[in-house]
Every structure is written in C-alpha cells, then in structure tokens.
Chain A
Amino acid sequence: MYDLVIVGGGPAGVAAGVYAARKRIKTLLITYDYGGQSMVSPDVQNWIGIVSISGLELAEVLEKHLKTYAADVLEMKEGVHATKIDQLKKADEPAGPLFRVTCDDGFSCEGRAIILTAGSSRRKLQVKGAEEFDNKGIVYCASCDAPLFKDKDVVVIGGGNAGLEAAEQLIAYAKSIHVLEFGTEFKGDPVTRERVFANPKVTPHTNAETVEVKGDKFVTALVWKDRVTGEAHELSVQGVFVEIGSIPNSDMVKGLCEMNKYGEVIIDHKTSRTSVEGIWAAGDITDQPYKQNNISMGEAVIALEDVYLWIRARK
C-alpha cells in the first residue's frame, strides 16, 4: 500500500513525483512513458527556462529528474496504462480513504491518496473514411510522417498550434498544403500563423468542416464544407494531417470524480482537489482551460503540497 499513487508521467505527474520524493512520501508513479503529449513535438519553445528543446529530449530530462530523487521512497510502474480507480474506503470511514488503481496488464495497487495527472489523448477524425484510411494517408503524427509526403498535396485539419506546426513541417516536403479550421478564426499563436501563412504553398481556410476522406487503397481526396455558404469543396490530396485537439483520459474516474461536459475532471484550483476527498488532479485532465505544460506542473505541485499537509493533518 502506498501513501500516494500518481497516475501519469507527463510534466504534471513528474512534478508531483519530484516533490513527493523530496518530501519522502511513500509513492508509486504509474505511467506508460514519460514526457506527456509534448513528446511528439519537434520543438518546444515555451518551456520556461529553455529556449528550444525537442519533445523527446524533454521527456528524457523529466524522467531523469524524477529518477534522480526517487531514492527508496518513490517507485515507478512503467509501460502500463491505468484503466480504473475504485474507492475502497471513504475519507470519513476508519482508516479511510483508500483507493485501488488497476492497470491494463492486470497490475493493481492501493493508495491512501491519488494525484491524477493522466492528461489527454488525441481526438480522432470521425467522418466517413476516417477509420478506413487511418495510416493510409491519414496521419496523427506530423513529425513522424511529414517527410513521407514529398512533392504531394496534403491537407491539415486543425488551426491550433499543433495544426500550424504540422503545416510548418510539411512546407519542407509537400507540394501544397491546405489548412482547415472549423471555427471562424485560427487559434494558434499569431507569430506562428504569420510565419506559416506567408509561405506560398500554404492556403488557410476558416469555417471549414471536414465531411469525408476518400480514396482507394490510400487517401486520394478530402471533401470539406464551407460552414457559412454551405458550399462543398473537394481537394485532391494524398495526405490528411489531423490536429483537432484532445480528449481527457478521465474514463478511469467516471462515476467517481465530478466532471464537466467535456469529461474534464473538475478541481478546486486553489488546492487541485477533485470532488472526492483523497483524490487530486492536475494538468490537461482537469477543467483548467489553458492546456499548457507550465501550468500543469504548477497545478501538480499545488496538489502535492496539499497532499503533504493533508497526510500530516490525518496522523
């Protein structure tokens, strides 16, 4: 049994872990891998203190920091996904609260407190043809696969930073890049927007709703609709790069912690506490509106500081 179980090893989870280890709280950190969603970014420029670093390097740096202070007080269970958190005892019961965390390999453990930092996963395209052509022209990792579209016509779906970064990487390879934003304006940073749209290969479209992905063995075309005029457009493309946001990985506390309509776990932003005493949450899994590494880590530290005082008060 652990005093604390941290679920997730992204920036938030690692922040909580480093603080937990240094406060000598008996902790288990469960994660599939380290680094979180930024792992696939080719270049992170807004991690305060670091001008530019690849997502992969960032992941290594985080893992190293955690393992340097882990000592004999923080254990790690890697390579698995937590799938369910059950409440075995409530806070007002003797020796409560108590929780059980179960993972996808069958492993389970018990903890008196939980810090949930499981982040979000990529939202998948839901239109006709999206499943059929997954990996057959539909791409969710621009940094992996952009080079495979040399001299090809491609489209990027999504006008946030991820979509703009995908378009920017494609400039070096693709023949033409259409970028589709569902809303009335692109949400990515103005700096990136200006730089990317200045390139003659790139054509941005707003109010663009993706309707269908077509092809035979691989993708050959994408159909989108102008939400204002209702007009349909068909683009002859071989690549569809999808960057349409994320869904919180909160299934494991469904029915346990209060969530909003997006599945985000609601927290008290002063303490990072969820609706269940004994469970804290931080990062993209919560209803924090700004999904940023720097913020996620801050919220996780708040959680851990609160956990520490809470544990001491209950002794």
Chain B
Amino acid sequence: MQVKIYTTPSCVYCKATKAFFQQNNVEYEEVDVTRNEAALKDMVDKSGQMGVPVIEIDGKIVIGYDKPKLSELLNIQP
C-alpha cells in the first residue's frame, strides 16, 4: 500500500493525520509542499483544490483529515 501525505509545517490536521498513521503502524511518505513547488502543483492537480492535508492511498485521493475514509482505505477497524 503506497501512502503519501501532502502537508505544510503548521497544519494541525496534517499532524493529526500523521499521528493517526503512526498509531496504526501505517508507513507513509510525507511531502512538505512549502518546500517543493512541483509537489504543490501535483497536489492541486490531483485533488482539484488547495487545502492540506491531501492523502494519496494507492492513487485514491482523500482530502483533509477524514478518519472514516482513511480507515476504510487502509483497512483499519474502529
């Protein structure tokens, strides 16, 4: 399972999402879009919007800290 999260350093919901991954032993790649303009454009193109976090799980896009949808895609039981 390929998990990628687009973040900014001060984003509360990005931190909450990463904490959620860590609690559930989910390995993920983090991309700080403030340091990488190409990645920011990538994120905006893929998600059609500008808010962080954007999470990509095997090509599927989740916008924001959407715990139910993330749990579903990562097969995490509540």
Contacts and interface: CB of A to CB of B under 8 A. Distances in A.
B55 interface: no
A144 B40 contact: no
B10 A148 contact: no
Contact of A144 (B11, B67, B78): B11
B51 A150 contact: no
A148 B63 contact: no
A135 B40 CA distance: 14
Interface residues of B, number: 20
A144 B51 contact: yes
Contacts, number: 56
Contacts of A56: 12, 15-16
A139 B34 CA distance: 16
A40 B49 contact: no
B1 to A, nearest CB: 22
Nearest to B78: A79
Contact of A135 (B15, B16, B63, B78): B63
Interface string A34-58: 0000011010000000000001100
A144 B32 CA distance: 12
B51 A79 contact: no
A144 B49 contact: no
A136 interface: yes
A92 B16 CA distance: 45
A107 to B, nearest CB: 11
A42 B10 contact: yes
A146 interface: yes
A144 B50 CA distance: 11
Given A79-B78, A147-B34, A148-B34, A40 B50 contact: no
Contacts of B13: 141, 144
17 contacts: A39-B12, A40-B12, A55-B12, A56-B12, A135-B51, A136-B50, A141-B12, A143-B10, A144-B8, A145-B8, A145-B50, A146-B10, A147-B8, A147-B34, A148-B8, A148-B33, A148-B52
Interface of A: 33, 39-40, 42, 55-56, 79, 135-137, 139, 141, 143-148, 150, 169, 218
Given A56-B16, A141-B12, 10 more contacts: A79-B67, A135-B49, A135-B50, A139-B51, A144-B10, A144-B13, A146-B10, A147-B9, A147-B10, A147-B34
Interface of B: 8-16, 33-34, 40, 48-52, 63, 67, 78
